[in-house]
Amino acid sequence: MSVILIVFYLKKTADANLNFLVAVGIGLYTFSNLVAFSPSLQGRTKTIAATFLLAAAIHLQLNLKNYYLSAKSTRFLNLGLVLFLLSSIPIFLFYLSDILFNISFFILLLPPISWILGDGDYSIRGVIGLLID
């Protein structure tokens, strides 16, 4: 996704919002590579960088008519975005699984029960497992 966005970032006709989103996204992603000594900081920084890059991609799609691309260029852009979306399905499923495993079921229903139960708390994944069995 970064390679696709850099092509538009380097154009002189790119608007300030796209330039900001791409610059911050790539800058944060570069910073996350520099802090590899701290996996938690690296993971959080990559997540924030991915959010900025995804926002830049959405902004680009919404304002694509302002760039006056040829049909061939538009086809290559759409192919690149489809390939990116297909390749990001595993990481999306990983984060979804992580959320289901780590978030308490009682946060959705009754938050104070989570405070009282402590370690006896159920995750969303655990409750879905109980309901299926």
Mean pLDDT value across residues 35-57: 91
Does 123 share its domain with 69? no
pLDDT of 133 reads 82
Last residue of a domain, one of 54, 69, 87: 87
pLDDT of 52 reads 93
Does 13 share its domain with 67? yes
What is the per-residue pLDDT across 88-126, written as a single tens digit (0 to 9) for each? 899 889 988 888 888 877 777 777 776 777 677 778 888
Side chain identity at residue 107, one-letter code? I
pTM of the model: 0.69
Does 43 share its domain with 79? yes
Does 74 share its domain with 43? yes
Q: Considering only 79-88, 103-112, 124-133, which range has the smallest mean pLDDT?
A: 103-112
Count of domains for the chain: 2
What is the per-residue pLDDT across 52-68, written as a single tens digit (0 to 9) for each? 998 998 888 888 887 78
Domain that holds residue 38: 1-87
Does 93 share its domain with 122? yes
Does 63 share its domain with 117? no
